[in-house]
Chains A and B, each alone.
Chain A
Amino acid sequence: MSPPLLQVNDLKKHFPVKSGLFGRKSEFVYAVDGVSFEIARGETLSLVGESGCGKSTVGRAILRLFDITAGQVILDGQRIDDAHPGTMRQMRRRVQVVFQDPFSSLNPRMRVRDILAEPIRNFGLAKSAEDLEVRVTSLMDTVRLPREALNRRPHEFSGGQRQRIGIARALAAEPELIVCDEAVSALDVSVKAQIVNLLQDLQSEFGLALLFISHDLAIVEHMTHRVAVMYLGKIVEIAPRREIFAAPRHPYTRALLSAVPLPEPGAQRNPIILKGDVPSPINPPKGCRFHTRCPLVFDRCRVEEPVLRATGTEQWVACHLEDGAVATSG
C-alpha cells in the first residue's frame, strides 16, 4: 500500500519571544505542540479552532516556510522537514498554498499574466511559449476570470477576484496538496460557492488533497472529509465529518459548533459561552489545556493531560471524560 500523501508526526513549533522587563527574559510561544495527522490523496482535512491555536503555523510548517522545532513532515514517504534545497524544489511544487489575504501575497507590480507564468516557468512546466500561454489562459478559465484581465495588476481587482488569482497561481504549479489558509473566508457567498465547487471539482478531477483551514464551519461541513479541532497548539478531536458535526465528543468542539451564527434572523441558538480568557500559548495550562474554560472540568483535568484516544473507529478525542472516568466535582 502506498503511503498517505502527507504525514505529520508529533509536529512542534516553538517561537522564541522576548519578554520580561527590557525584554531580557527569553521564552517560547508553544504555537504547535505535538500535532499528528495524515492526509490521503484526494482527501480534504480541515483544521478548525480558536484564533491563535496554531492552525496557520501547522500550514506553514508543511510548506516549510520555517524550520520546525521537532517532529516530522513526510510527503509521499519522503521527509521534507529536513530535505535539502535540491529535493525541496520538487516538493515545493507539489504543495501549494492559498492565503486569506491575497493582496499581501500578490506582487502589486506584476501583471496577472506574469503572476501565473512565474510558477509555471520556475518549475519548468511549459514546453514552449505557446504552451505557457495556453496554460495561463486556461487557468483564468478554471477560476472563471475573464482572459482580458491577464493584463491587469492586482490592485485593479476586488478582494474576491484577487483570491481567484491566488488560487490560479497555486494551481499553476500542478500541486498534489493545497494548503488553503482561510482561502475562502473573505469571499462573497456566491463566489465562495463557486470556489468551493471548483476545489471539489479539482479534487475529483486531479485527486487534489486539501488542508483546509477555516473558521467557516458550515463550509467545512459542506466540503470536508475529516476535521481536526485544535486548541492551544494541540489537536483535541479528529474525526470524519459526520462524527464531528453530528456527534462531537470534545467539550471544546461542542462549544465551537454551538457558537456558529445561523443565517436566520431571530433564530434560537443556545451557544455554550466559554468563560475565562484564552490562555497564553507561552504558559499553557497544566493538565488539560482546556481546563480553565471547560464547562465539564473535574479534578483530574487540572493535573493530568488527556491524550488522543480512539472512541469510535475513526474518531479520536483528547478528554478524560472519554476514559470512562466519572466526573466527580465541577
Chain B
Amino acid sequence: MALLEVDNLQTHFRTPGGINRAVDGVSFHVNEGETLAIVGESGCGKSVTSMSLMRLIPEPPGRIAGAIRFAGRDLLQLSDREMRAIRGNDISMIFQEPMTSLNPVLTVGRQIRETLMIHQGLDKQAAEAHAVEMLTLVGIPEPKRRVREYPHQLSGGMRQRVMIAIALACNPKLLIADEPTTALDVTIQAQILKLMLDLKRRVGAAIILITHDLGVVAEIAERVMVMYAGRKVEEAPVAELFRSPRHPYTQGLLGAVPRLGSSLTGTARRLAEIPGQVPDLRKPITGCVFAGRCALATDLCRQYAPGLEEKGPRHVAACHYAAKGAVAA
C-alpha cells in the first residue's frame, strides 16, 4: 500500500492580480521505503506541493483542496493539533532556505534538542547528547562546540546540515527534502545522500526529494515526477525517464545540464535553454501548459489540454505527440 497518496491536490493563492493556481490538480503516490524525485522549472509548484503535504501553507492567502492520505489518514481533515504531532515526527521536512527556517536567536543545539524533547519525550540531557550525535552523523566537525553556536556562526553548508539533523532526528516515516544538498560540496553531499538512504534502510522511510541536480536524481531516486506550471507532466522510473523522456519539457530539461568533462570534449560553449517563460498561473490556460514554449506545438496543443497517458510501463506523460514518437530526441 502506498504510504502517501495525493489525490488531485490544488493549492491556490489569492493575490492582488488574481488567483495563483500554484498547484493545480496533481496526483501521485509514494510507497513505503521508496524515493520519489520531483523535478521541474523554478516556480512550477514543487515547494508549494511539499508545504501543502506538511500543511504549512499560510491560509489565507493560500487554500488547499484535494486529498492527502498519509498511512490511510487524510491530512487535510486533521486538526491543527493532530497535524503538529505528525509534523517533525512522522513526516519531516528539510526546507529549501535553511537561513529562513532556523531560528537566528537560538543555538543550533537547542533547536535540535527541542524537536527531540517535544516529539520523542527525551529529557534535556538525553536530547543534548542525541543532538551532538546527530551533528556528528551529518558530518559537522566538533559537534560539541557547534551545538552551542548560533546559525550565523556556521557556514551555509553547515546550516543546511543542521536542518538535515533536525529533520532526521526523529526517524520520520516520510522525509521531504526540498533541495537538501544545494549548498553542499560533493563530498558532503555524498555523505548526506548516504544518511538519507540509511534512514530508508533502517526505518523503511520514504523520501520525496526535490532537486534541480539531475546527478542526484540519477543516483538515489527510484521514480521521478516532472512538474510544469503546477501540474504533473511526466512520471516514470528513473532509468526509463533518463533513457526515453517523452515530454518535450523533460527532454529540454535533460538537454540543459552540462556534463563533467565538457572542457575536453569541446561541447558547445552555450548551454541549451528552453526559450520563453512559464505561463502566468493567474490567467486561465487553455490547451497544453507547455504550448507557449514547445517547438512542436500545433493548433491541437493550443486548443486541447493533453491528459496524462501511459507511454510505457509505469511511464505517463501529458503530451499529444509523445506517443507517436514524433518527439523522440
Contact = CB atoms under 8 A, between A and B. Distances in A.
Given A159-B42, A262-B260, A190 B47 contact: no
B213 interface: yes
A56 to B, nearest CB: 6
Contacts of A50: 185, 187-188
Interface in B184-227: 184-190, 212-219
Nearest to A144: B277
A166 interface: no
A100 B260 contact: no
Interface stretch (B72-80, B166-174, B266-274): B266-274
B96 interface: yes
A246 to B, nearest CB: 5
Interface in B1-56: 15, 39-44, 47
A71 interface: no
Given A52-B158, A278-B139, A264 B242 contact: yes
Contact of B139 (A189, A277, A282): A277
B157 interface: yes
A218 B258 contact: yes
Contacts of B96: 159, 186
A260 B260 contact: yes
Contact of B264 (A49, A246, A264): A246
A158 B312 CA distance: 32
Contacts of B280: 146
A161 B42 contact: yes
Interface residues of A, number: 68
A186 B148 CA distance: 28
A215 B184 contact: yes
In the complex, which range does the number of interface residues on chain B fall in? 35 or more
A263 B214 contact: yes
A107 interface: no
A272 to B, nearest CB: 9
Contact of B155 (A48, A52, A101, A160): A52
B199 to A, nearest CB: 19
Interface stretch (A113-121, A124-132, A193-201, A296-304): A193-201
B157 A52 contact: yes
Given A182-B156, A263-B242, A51 B184 contact: yes
Contacts of B129: none
Interface stretch (B85-93, B248-256, B298-306): B248-256
B313 interface: no
A281 B280 CA distance: 48
B186 A261 contact: yes
Interface in A90-123: 100-101, 103-104
Interface string A206-220: 000000000111110
B97 interface: yes
Interface string B140-165: 01100100110001011110010000
A259 interface: yes
B60 interface: no
Nearest to A105: B99
B57 interface: no
A246 B188 CA distance: 23
Nearest to B254: A263
B238 interface: yes
A265 B252 contact: no
Interface string A39-77: 000000000111110001000000000000000000000
B125 interface: no
Nearest to B161: A51
Contacts of A221: 258, 260-263
Given A52-B155, A187-B212, A279 B277 contact: no
Given A182-B182, A191-B41, A245-B264, 9 more contacts: A15-B153, A158-B42, A159-B97, A161-B43, A189-B257, A193-B274, A196-B271, A261-B219, A277-B141
Interface of B: 15, 39-44, 47, 96-100, 139, 141-142, 145, 148-149, 153, 155-158, 161, 179, 182-190, 212-219, 238-239, 242, 252-254, 256-264, 269-274, 277, 280
6 contacts: A101-B99, A160-B43, A185-B182, A192-B212, A259-B187, A263-B217
The 6 A-B residue pairs with the shortest CB-CB distance in the complex, in nearest-first order: A160-B42, A51-B157, A158-B43, A261-B215, A193-B271, A222-B258
Interface of A: 15, 17, 19, 23, 48-52, 56, 100-101, 103-104, 144, 146, 156-161, 163, 182, 185-194, 196-197, 200, 215-219, 221-222, 241-242, 245-246, 255-257, 259-267, 271, 274, 277-282
